[in-house]
Amino acid sequence: MDYELKGDVPFPMALVHLNANDKVQIENGSMIYFNNSVSLDGHLNSNGKKGLGGLMSAIGRGVTSGESMFITTATSSADGGEIAVAPGNPGVIQELEVNANQQWRLNTGAFLASDESVSYNMVRQKISGALFGGTGGFFIMETRGTGVMLVSAYGDLIPLDLTDAKDYAIDNDHVVAWSQNLDYNIEPASGIVGFKTGEGLVTRFSGTGRVYVQTRNLQALADLLKPLLPTNNSN
């Protein structure tokens, strides 16, 4: 993917440059603008399935992950095509390499754009991970293919490199992406039921690989803003 980042943090956008017949996949609703060489086509993100099976897969993806059922493909009819995309949250945009040796799992809302040769699908996760992050169920997003993928984060994006001798317990709302080969389990942060410190549940990753964490989380922002929002006092 040929792209450049425009604008300053915390409000960057990715300007993707396309040659004739090039395609790029973008998250539904992330487009800012495109020029007259580019056309957009929305389609179900159906894990490669067709017909009724594809429709049910896309519906299941929306229900279990909170992600859109649709994904958009931008295609350029000539050299010089341009499309600009940006996430809904303030923060950074980060490139992740996807290949045979490195596939990723993503938390809800992390995906922004990718080469056509990269996809991300819903895969069933183990029961001990069913409370993970914003996914809200027994499925998690996992990449396939080879190419470049852009992800977004609220705040900055920091890599944590794990080894068999060093693991991390991470607040679910701060996890953006992690190496597919890492194992993870939900556990209390501390205390008898995990709430003595006010931290609640965390995800403990183990194995050898990388986790990307965002330095802020949207739920904390929502909690800060809640007292400022008007209340409905109507009878």
Is the pLDDT reported for residue 52 higher than 80?
Answer: no
pLDDT in tens, 135-179: 445 677 899 999 999 999 999 999 999 998 888 999 888 999 999
Is the pLDDT confidence value at 221 over 90? Answer: no
Q: What is the pLDDT of residues 91-144, one digit of tens each?
A: 999 999 999 999 999 988 899 999 999 987 877 776 655 555 444 456 778 999
Is residue 4 predicted with pLDDT exceeding 90?
A: yes
Is pTM beyond 0.85 here?
Answer: no
Neighbours of 206 (CB within 10 A): 16
Q: Is 31 exposed, middle or buried (0-12, 13-18, 19+ CB in 10 A)?
A: middle
Share of the chain above pLDDT 70, in %: 74
Number of C-alpha atoms within 13 angstroms, CB side, residue 222? 6
pLDDT, average across residues 70-87: 95
Concatenate the DSSP letters of all residues of 9-68 into one string: TTS-EEEEEE-TT-EEEEETT-EEEE-TTEEEEEEE--TT--HHHHHHHHHHHHHHH---
> Helices marked H in the chain — which ranges?
51-65, 218-225
